[in-house]
């Protein structure tokens, strides 16, 4: 969304919760060697500044071998 003032109220509330968090833990399953589209879409609704300068852990799981490595690497930009 280009203008944050046009965002729905619930999205603004979630953004404030993200900005006030002490740390993040992203837990995700593997979906075609990446994050599920719903998780990517949700994370993309918030500006990068909302996530900056706080510790973050990435927890992944996959039925395949080594696929989780690709998933964790793809989540690093958040």
Asked if residues 43 and 14 have their Cβ atoms less than 8 Å apart, the reply is: no
Report pLDDT digits (tens) over 7-29: 889 988 999 999 999 998 988 88
Q: Is 4-75 in CATH node 3.40.50.2300?
A: no
- pLDDT on residue 21: 94
Report pLDDT digits (tens) over 19-75: 999 998 988 887 777 778 888 888 888 888 888 899 988 887 777 666 556 666 665
Region of 18 (left: φ > 0; alpha: ψ -120 to 50; beta: rest) is alpha
């Amino acid at each position: 969304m280009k203008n944050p003032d046009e965002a729905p109220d619930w999205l603004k509330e979630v953004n404030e919760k993200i900005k006030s968090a002490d740390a993040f833990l992203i837990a995700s399953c593997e979906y075609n060697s990446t994050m599920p589209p719903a998780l990517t879409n949700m994370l993309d609704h918030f500006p990068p500044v909302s996530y900056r300068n706080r510790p973050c852990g990435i927890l992944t799981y996959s039925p395949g071998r080594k696929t989780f490595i690709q998933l964790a690497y793809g989540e690093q930009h958040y």
